Amino acid sequence: MEKNAGRRCREIGCGPAGARYIEGMSSYHLFETVIGWAGIAWGEQGLIGAHLPERNPGIARKSFARRYPEAAEAAPTPEMADVVERIRALMRGEKADLSEAPLDIARVPEFNAKVYEITRKIPAGETLTYGQIAVQLGDRLLARDVGAALGKNPWPIVVPCHRVTAAGGKLGGFSARGGANTKLKLLEIEGAAAAAQAKLPGKVEPPRQPRLL
């Protein structure tokens, strides 16, 4: 079964050979939200990364310096300023839409790009499962590959990987610091039914002190 999934994954571009990364000048900007300091990084082709809110802006700054050593801190362009305001609105619990935010999608493998394009269309307050995304890709056996792609998502919040859950009402994994607690916190802010379901007996326990990145 896993062997077949791997073959199908290769057929639609899961591997690194699908990547079309292009180096270029880039910038980043840190900004405050109601739950902490977040950040975005961008280049000539659009967003190249995002950072979930932190209590300390220095953590986000160090993350960008590590991931994008060529990037310089700068004021956002008008297009990026719009992205910033939409992220701030989401963190206030508003139904802001980031599905049209410009992404430098050429930086990721083709399969991951397909997963992200589906994921970014999930509205705030709603969720899909890994299996449902796999079905949209044409093969339910790709569910694990979907999870792996989301674990490498460079644009958390903009590509809302926290809105993708496991089957049976389970939250599923989350690669950001804080893991499932962070994922649950974001879903709670957005008023997603999955957040309430995760607190039911037999499901994921609620976080004692949710901590964002």
Just list the catalytic residues.
Answer: 161
Buried b (16+ CB within 10 A) or exposed e, 78-111: eebeebbebbbbbbeeeebebeebebbbebbbbb
**Which residue in the block uniquely carries the two structure tokens 């970014």?**
120
Q: Which residues contact 185 (CB under 8 A, 6 or more apart)?
A: 35, 178, 207, 210, 212
Rounded to whole angstroms, the Cα distance separating 89 from 85 reads: 6
**Which residue in the block uniquely carries the two structure tokens 């694990």?**
144
Report whether 101 contacts 83 (CB < 8 A).
yes
Rounded to whole angstroms, the Cα distance separating 78 from 98 reads: 15
Rounded to whole angstroms, the Cα distance separating 61 from 68 reads: 10
